[in-house]
A and B are shown apart, each in its own frame.
Chain A
């Protein structure tokens, strides 16, 4: 996986959690490690690793911000803080870079810059060769690809993050048959964590159920990223289609559904038609 070549001494396991587009399933074999990492991770990212002191100079706010952005999307180079190219005294780290962005996390749309037209074709061609590969997988050209396919069949674990909760979780989609069940599971996973988070930021701290994930009426909304990298609202397509194309889940504040995500929906509508 990118960012973590085997020949590097320090290979922060946290990097392995980052979905790299379609490929993060590779990390299934590190499942238990990941779970541990997720459970333990209350501090800033990378703090257990061979980190750079760039992190130490950050204010709590910045750290929180990084966490938010980290959860938001894959591939931000903030994770590279664990890599080799930042020196402790280097002021031009990527942290100030990210703090220039607005703090409200929104889905990142339109990346990679491949016309959606092409991506539709890619998914069409992969489905045509569906006999050779598993559902939703890209064309397997080499033996390596088959490994990926096998792992997918052992339960359908997808990572799920929630806004303002630093801890990510995982859900096994094969355990559910409907969006309602999934929504219920999300509530179970995050209700306590959310309350704990609000407690520390001076909120009430009592546990409120997380509802309205699917209809836009709740404080939070469930979204996902599909195998083409597009951010979508959960619930629009038949359940099985969703399961075959989902790569990760994200619970975002309903107020943060940016217009960018709405633009992406036009593609959904096209696909439905």
Chain B
């Protein structure tokens, strides 16, 4: 990892694990600094004036007050503070520290775009260069919410266009972004360097073309799992013709053919390019050419990983393995969109260095990835989706669980796994919990709902129980299969670091949710669907909801009256009940509950199908 700067490492994590690096308590974005009377204590400077009234926005005094001297010093010191957690703590020391911290915070993270208004952001933080903003809750990805729910980028970009002309980076997740928004962005920020759009929608290749063309200092253009409409624009050709500053270009989600010649030219004149994620319209032969020209890559999305139709007969086959061998720096591999399995061995030369491997777009079975995994000793992140367990109805031997077993044995350093399969056993999950103590993210999706251990017939309680018990660093958990309240009892007892929990079709009673709400003090994001949790459980969490980013519960057993009670009791909580337009308003049943804390009250852009209680 010596050739990796911290920037790249962080970005990899963000992409692969879909989780933020935030280890901090909730960001406190109150616009009023803490009252001076409560901010005594941390004072090591005897000369420091306790007169907080003197703190104002400007420093116009002819004589430098001790306050101002201190603030100058603080400013010089605090600008080195990077961690969000530390900054939040520093801002609570006293009004002076609050002010200076606000002046020196250059990167702002907003985990829920509706937790505050854009105006509040620009009022408090004056010198922001980088914004990370997240919108819709994750379950919106699975059609559990109507489109046009909200999370529009427009008000943010228009506010920031005026307030932050020196903005350099925008990182959005699950936001609705239009081409107009992108145009405004490209126009308003001359120093703009990084655009990252994860799971976003609402824009097309025309918006991207504008960014490519106008942001002359662009270093990062990452389009990840976003829906990009094909406006039939050759956006790759819109990059400036001279040498670029590009370090990362990801367009694997763009469902439109690209001009390969232009791409090759772009890669050729981008000497700083380290990350390249191609879409499925780039063939294996084209990938080969790119690799030969860019062996310095650290992160590669391989595109289709299959032949051009009909293009390959005449020439001898390129030596793909040699091309991969030449890429000595590759640590992160993804793509394989139309995987031709016979070419998979070409990646063997890079396996030993891989820290991240994403097969989730590949039609791949454990038999195919096992030999690869065997060589990936350094692997930290692994994503795979076994859509078809073709052998299972025929053979005695299991498939999915052996795959998991192989991973746990080959990749002892594994930190994050996303594993889709049809069936699983407790034994395999327990083995993983014992072999991979470094796990921070464990997401197992047994696609058959309520499916027990297919060997013993028992619920999957013990498997997930072992995970929360043995993986002491676990911060994110997604469960599936047949689960009783016992599984949740384990979570509440052992899952002390869990911040994100996804539950679907699980549990027997309110007690399950209660265990979690009462036992997991770090829980920030809770998403539940189709589970038998009701009002009693909801009320058990009232002491927690202000400390959480959001709670999602759909197709559970909640009543509107209970949700109203919660909304009434917690004034800073926005309680959204999401239904359909013609829902009977008198119906007490709540189809979907989405609630989150907010400093600025209920949003004004809620569509008709959202009722804010």
Contacts and interface: CB of A to CB of B under 8 A. Distances in A.
Contact of A141 (B363, B445, B454, B484): B363
B135 interface: no
Contacts of B365: 141-142
Interface stretch (A114-122, A170-178, A215-223, A233-241): A114-122
A138 B507 CA distance: 32
B363, B502, B591 — most chain A CB neighbours (10 Å): B363
Contacts of B227: 117
A89 to B, nearest CB: 15
A53 interface: no
Nearest to B443: A113
Contact of B609 (A6, A22, A128, A259): A259
Nearest to B582: A259
Contact of B142 (A83, A96, A115): A115
A112 B143 contact: no
Contacts of B338: 125, 128-129
B457 A2 contact: no
Contacts, number: 176
B423 interface: yes
Interface string B141-174: 1111111000000000000000000000000000
Interface string A89-131: 0001010110011100000111111111110111011101100
A110 B144 CA distance: 6
Given A100-B557, A113-B141, A122-B387, A3 B337 contact: no
Nearest to B591: A259
B280 interface: yes
B133 interface: no
Interface size class of B (residues with CB under 8 A): 35 or more
Nearest to B340: A129
Interface in B379-437: 385, 387-394, 396, 420, 422-423
Q: Secondary structure of the B side of the interface?
A: loop
Interface in B335-359: 337-338, 341
A1 interface: yes
Q: Which of A22, A113, A117 has the most CB of B within 10 A?
A: A113
A244 to B, nearest CB: 18
B504 interface: yes
B186 interface: no
A7 B591 CA distance: 41
Given A100-B532, A262-B580, A111 B422 contact: no
7 contacts: A21-B447, A23-B393, A77-B450, A115-B141, A121-B361, A138-B387, A260-B144
Given A23-B388, A94-B482, 18 more contacts: A5-B392, A5-B455, A20-B422, A75-B450, A84-B457, A85-B459, A96-B509, A112-B447, A113-B502, A115-B142, A115-B199, A116-B142, A138-B388, A141-B363, A141-B388, A145-B390, A148-B390, A263-B143
